């Protein structure tokens, strides 16, 4: 049968369109997923409406939770800035890497160049990588993000409470704003700080727009709501519920802008997004701090309010919508999970995290961790296994009297914790010590802790550990 010229032309067009569509679907199916981590600073467990924050205005995060999964037993490695961030990026307890506490301006150490970050795990697979916001793992030279796998960086090298904003330390240098490895503003003023959340958001949206056709890893560690807190003119006073609520509302807006950009370019179904925080609220700041209720204490402690974070995971079609996972997991699990999803090898150096994709996909409700360990500095303060959490004798800081107001902190006092056991399923606020009633559980958790002490040490017991690595050194 002969085909007319017109029919042949139409057949060619149809065949070509089918082939192009088929190729497009094949390319989409073979393209590795994108990853976005949104990391707040000093956010309390109850600072999102979907985690019980009745005074908070967080419609975008609430919707993210409805479309994704809330993780209600998700932990950081230590309740302070630098220690927490190194664990997120490397999959290691921070003690293993000798990054303790918060690195100040001019600190002599940084994240060691031999440690592999999430960005460095993904780069060999062709990922474009960026960080927009607070870094806090080295403020110059090899300490900066572009020496740790990130193609782009715009943000602060450490916390935003440097001179002249810190209420007790006037020896800090001015606060710099860095782009890649260059200081573009050597004195970030209070007026500038109003735009920190907006700047991070605008850079994040631009990054997605520019790399929408290639796999990417985007890390947005917000400077807020770490004190001093600021909201842009658009959000200052917008909630009618105080400046802290305004700051949270602006972070919520930022999350909405980033998710909407993913939707706009049809990237949502190929992008895993994680929202969490570096530690709990800085309670001494009162109305300029958040709430960890119903958890006990906040930032700077191994109580649940210091290390359990409000966490949401979103990936339409992959993470089951409207679900909650209460299995123990943490930021140390992010790198191995991303490596699994991207098909990347794990770092050659030992890490502590586990692949938790079975939890995020809803295939399992069992934590891969036999135990989770709570350090402060080099002191092992507590261990959790299942619902049971055992505290070892240690001192910790707690509010003394009324908290501060309007940017001025209230006083702390040092309290003492004994050998105390809590069932977190029944007593999430850690109020009823049941150690005397369960000596066999105390013995089992103590044995797990002894194993960790042999590996990573414990200053409280004078054990050095055998697997601790050095931090990087800066001039």
Q: Supply the residues annotated as catalytic.
A: 81, 136
Contact between residue 475 and residue 141 where contact means Cβ atoms under 8 Å apart: yes
Question: Which pair of tokens denotes residue 409?
Answer: 């902190």
Phi–psi pair at 84, nearest 5 degrees: -65, -45
Decide: residue 8, CB within 10 A, 0-12 exposed, 13-18 middle, 19+ buried.
Answer: exposed
Buried b (16+ CB within 10 A) or exposed e, 319-333: beeeeebbbbbbbbb
């Amino acid at each position: 049968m002969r085909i007319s010229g017109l029919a042949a032309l139409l057949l060619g067009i149809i065949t070509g369109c089918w082939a192009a569509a088929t190729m497009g679907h094949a390319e989409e199916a073979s393209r590795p997923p994108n990853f976005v981590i949104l990391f707040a600073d000093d956010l309390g467990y109850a600072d999102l409406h979907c985690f019980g924050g009745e005074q908070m205005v967080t419609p975008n995060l609430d919707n993210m939770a409805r479309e994704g999964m809330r993780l209600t037993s998700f932990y950081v490695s230590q309740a302070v800035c630098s220690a927490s961030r190194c664990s997120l990026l490397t999959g290691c307890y921070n003690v293993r890497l000798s990054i303790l506490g918060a690195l100040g301006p001019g600190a002599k150490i940084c994240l060691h160049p031999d440690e592999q970050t999430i960005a460095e795990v993904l780069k060999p697979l062709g990922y474009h990588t960026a960080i927009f916001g607070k870094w806090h793992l080295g403020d110059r030279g090899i300490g900066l993000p572009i020496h740790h796998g990130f193609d782009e960086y715009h943000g602060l090298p450490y916390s935003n409470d440097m001179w002249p904003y810190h209420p007790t330390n006037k020896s800090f240098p001015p606060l710099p704003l860095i782009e890649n490895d260059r200081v573009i503003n050597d004195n970030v003023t209070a007026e500038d700080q109003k735009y920190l959340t907006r700047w991070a958001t605008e850079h994040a949206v631009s990054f997605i727009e520019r790399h929408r056709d290639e796999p990417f890893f985007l890390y947005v560690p917000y400077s807020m709501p770490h004190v001093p807190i600021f909201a842009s003119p658009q959000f200052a006073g917008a909630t009618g519920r105080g400046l802290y609520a305004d700051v949270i509302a602006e972070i919520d807006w930022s999350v909405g802008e980033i998710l909407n950009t993913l939707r706009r370019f049809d990237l949502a179904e190929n992008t895993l997004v994680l929202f969490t925080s570096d530690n709990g609220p800085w309670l001494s700041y009162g109305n300029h701090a958040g709430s960890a209720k119903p958890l006990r204490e906040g930032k700077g402690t191994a109580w649940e309010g210091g290390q359990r974070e409000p966490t949401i995971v979103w990936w339409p079609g992959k993470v089951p919508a409207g679900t909650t996972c209460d299995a123990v997991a943490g930021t140390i699990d992010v790198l191995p999970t991303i490596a699994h999803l991207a098909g990347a090898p794990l770092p050659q150096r030992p890490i502590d995290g586990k692949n938790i994709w079975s939890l995020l996909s809803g295939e399992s409700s069992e934590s891969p961790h036999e135990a989770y360990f709570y350090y402060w500095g080099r002191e092992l303060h507590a261990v959790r296994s299942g619902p049971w959490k055992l505290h070892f004798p240690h001192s910790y800081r707690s509010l003394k009297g009324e908290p501060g107001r309007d940017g001025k902190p209230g006083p702390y006092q040092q309290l003492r914790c004994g050998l105390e056991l809590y069932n977190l399923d029944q007593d999430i606020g850690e109020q009823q010590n049941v150690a005397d009633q369960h000596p066999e559980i105390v013995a089992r958790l103590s044995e797990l802790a002894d194993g960790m002490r042999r590996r990573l040490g414990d200053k409280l017991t004078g054990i050095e550990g055998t697997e601790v690595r050095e931090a990087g050194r800066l001039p």
